Amino acid sequence: MTLPRFAFRARARRTQRKPGQMNRLETAYSAELELRRRAGDVLWFAWEAMKLRLADKTFLTPDFAVVNRDGEIEFHECKGFMEDDAAVKLKVAASMFPCRFLLVRARAKRDGGGFVVEEV
């Protein structure tokens, strides 16, 4: 007995990043932040430098902690694809902490590349 073909559709898998290593988007954005640091727009930045507690057993580790030229702390979260729980965590963190939270996405190469940055 054979089962119909549609019974075993494989799900598309997203690759998980290895702990302690930046993914491609984070690596590219880190280079962008370094250019901005050299230009004087950013005073300091670090990857996964802080872990924010949102609730019991619920944390957000923003991809980049950034100090801009005005001395304000910003948290930049790089997302190629955003799950619902990540969006909720980002919005909750933005409402709890007196810092700017920025969502960073890669712009398509056909649109000139670079990044799309929006405040949460």
Give residues with Cβ within 8 angstroms of 31, minimum separation 6: none
For the full predicted model, state whether its pTM sits above 0.75.
yes
| Four-way CATH pick for 23-119: 3.40.50.720, 3.40.1350.10, 3.40.50.10800, 3.40.630.10 | 3.40.1350.10
Encode pLDDT of 3-39 as tens digits: 556 555 555 566 666 778 999 999 999 999 999 999 9
Q: What is the mean pLDDT of the chain?
A: 88
Indicate the pairing of strand 58-60 with strand 64-68: unpaired
DSSP bridge partners of 116: 105
Confidence (pLDDT) at 113: 81
